[in-house]
Every structure is written in structure tokens, then in C-alpha cells.
């Protein structure tokens, strides 16, 4: 992503045809919404996402998700993520929605 991504706080690409998303550096990102990205198989989060509080990946095709660098994550939505077999997340997460997933 371009250098402007350093300022990015809210990023929504719901229902897009993305297959992969590499966020690079987005230290100010607070919300990432990828609901309905049915073709999404790879999400590479920034090395550090200290401000990320809300992540919606509903109905993605991700098989693994590593979120240990998101210490302030409060809401994680994984409903319909039927291919997800590996999840690493901080214990501070307050809301986890994952009905219809295999985890």
C-alpha cells in the first residue's frame, strides 16, 4: 500500500473480489471490514497493528489467521469462514463471532 496508508484508520472493501490483501504498514488502522469477500484466501496484516479494534472477515476463504500483533482487538467476526483451521489472536478480544466456521 502507498505511504498514505500510514494515516489510514478505517478500511472497507466489503463484497470485493479480492483474493489476497497485503496491508503493509498501517499503524493507525482501527477498523478493517472485508465482509463478503468470498474469494479472500490470504490476508497479511501489518507487523504491528496496535490500534486495530474491529476486524470483520465474514464469509472469507482464509485458512489461517495470525492476529497476535493486534493487542487492542475487541471484535473479530469470522462467521461463515468455513475453511479457517488456524487462528492466533490476543486474549484481550472481547467479542468473537464464528458461527458456521470449523474452528
Rounded CA-CA distance 16/6 in Å is 22
Structurally, the chain folds into a number of domains equal to 1
Residue 89: the pLDDT is 84
Rounded CA-CA distance 63/55 in Å is 16
List the pLDDT tens digit at each of the 103 positions of the chain: 455 667 889 999 999 999 999 988 888 999 999 999 999 999 998 878 899 999 999 999 999 999 988 999 999 999 999 999 999 887 777 777 776 555 5
Range of 59's domain? 1-103
| Cβ-Cβ contacts under 8 Å for 32 (sequence gap 6 or more) | 11, 12, 23, 52, 54, 55, 56
Amino acid at each position: 500500500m502507498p505511504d498514505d496508508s500510514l494515516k489510514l484508520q478505517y478500511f472497507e472493501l466489503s463484497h470485493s473480489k479480492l483474493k489476497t490483501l497485503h496491508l503493509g504498514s498501517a499503524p493507525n488502522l482501527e477498523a478493517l471490514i472485508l465482509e463478503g469477500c468470498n474469494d479472500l484466501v490470504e490476508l497479511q496484516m501489518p507487523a504491528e497493528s496496535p490500534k486495530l479494534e474491529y476486524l470483520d472477515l465474514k464469509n472469507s476463504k482464509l485458512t489461517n489467521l495470525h492476529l497476535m500483533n493486534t493487542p487492542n482487538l475487541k471484535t473479530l467476526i469470522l462467521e461463515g469462514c468455513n475453511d479457517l483451521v488456524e487462528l492466533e489472536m490476543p486474549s484481550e478480544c472481547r467479542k468473537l463471532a464464528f458461527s458456521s466456521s470449523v474452528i
